[in-house]
Structure 1
Amino acid sequence: MARTTTIELHKEDMKFAAGHFTIFSATHRENMHGHNFAVFVSLTGEVLDNGMLADYDIFKRMALEQCRAWNETFMLPAHSRHLQVERDARGDVIARFNGEELRFLARDVTILPVENVSLEELARLFGENLVGDGSLMRDSRISRVVVKCSSEPGQNCSWEWNSHG
């Protein structure tokens, strides 16, 4: 009979500090602010004959790389209906919202393929980046992945992937 287990990864350095604002409508958005986001990853799958699920170090490294990529940046949504993001001649970023023009140095901005920079979208995008096309998870006999992003203690959002579709 197959045994399953869940490995939970929540390391001290699985975090990123980032700025953002949430867009609520064509005329209302939060002021710019930042969070110290924490990331939690759980991997569920079949235990091998050697008593292990998988070499989860690769997944830990992938999560840490994603945290480093997002750390100390200001995040803007690429697909917002209410915010237009463009680059000027120097490559710096201009974000236009409701008659406002916000300017950022290119090196300070991460433009994400999301509608809104929300906890929901960050958890989803982090999870999708970790899982990819699912082949590494399936090859490692991992059947379920849960990613949680937290913007502060007691406030988090979860995203889930299952190998069954």
Structure 2
Amino acid sequence: MSPSFSIKVYKQYFNFASSHFMIFENGTREPLHGHNYRVQIKGEAPELAGDMVFDFLDIKPIVREVCDSLDHKLLIPKDNKFLKIYTEKKNYVIETPDESYFSIPMSDTLLLPILNTSAERIAMYISEEIRKKVLSKFQYSFTSLEVEVEETPGQSAVFLHREQL
């Protein structure tokens, strides 16, 4: 393994309060509930540009923007095979295998391109959003980006994306 540099960023405002429910492999679901999530990231690069991996002043607003987009939303995994999701007027209607039926305003809901709303999948989603925004705005890509999502103190999940070299 070759040497590399990394930055780790955690700010008090890297957080979001959201509700969700998990759908399990047998099609059952847990009750609708919420968390006060916290996020931290670690970005890695093999070399320094301007004596930095990436400027803290540039990455902090990006992470905050991604967190803010999730704040006060019901997170729904639109790629989950067990959910039926359709629109009715200004609402998303979500049907689950246990015949639960949710009708929720679109403005209060975020359909995520993930299979489930586990902390692991949410970390993956956040990682992809950060990577897209950094690449779009700065034409930069970390050699690896690690995103940790904490659901509650002492309980977190990590997603690590490594670029193919």
Matched residues, number: 162
Instruction: For 1:140 and 1:108, locate their aligned partners in 2 and report how far apart those are by CA, in whole Å.
Output: 33
The answer as to 2:129 corresponding to 1:114 is no
1:164 and 2:164 correspond: yes
Compared CA separation, residues 141 and 97, structure 1 to 2 (3 A): closer
Q: CA contact under 8 A between 1:3 and 1:47: conserved in structure 2? A: no
Secondary structure of the corresponding residue to residue 11 of structure 2: coil
Kept after mapping to 1: 8 A contact 2:134/2:140 = no
Q: Which residues of structure 1 form unaligned runs of 5+?
A: none
- SS at the partner of 2:144? strand
> Conserved in 2, the CA contact under 8 Å of 1:87 and 1:93?
yes
Q: Distance in 2 between matches of 1:61 and 1:134?
A: 11
Q: CA deviation at 1:25?
A: 3.8
Q: Which runs of 5+ in 2 are unaligned?
A: none
Q: CA deviation at 1:157?
A: 1.1
- Give yes or no for contact 1:26–1:82 (8 Å, CA) kept in 2: no
Q: Write the deviation string for residues 39-77 of structure 1: whole angstroms up to 9, x where unpaired.
A: 1101122234x5322323222111100000000001111
Q: Please give the root-mean-square deviation of Cα atoms over the aligned residues, in Å.
A: 2.4
- Matching of residue 67 in structure 1 with residue 67 in structure 2: yes
Structure 1 residues 154, 93: CA separation in 2 closer, same or farther (over 3 Å shift)? same
Q: Distance in 2 between matches of 1:25 and 1:9?
A: 34
Q: Secondary structure at the match of 1:142?
A: coil
Give the structure-1-normalised TM-score: 0.87
> SS of 1:72's equivalent?
coil
Q: Do residues 94 (structure 1) and 93 (structure 2) align? A: yes
Would you identify which runs of 4 or more consecutive aligned residues in structure 1 move more than 4 Å? 133-141
Q: CA deviation at 1:137?
A: 10
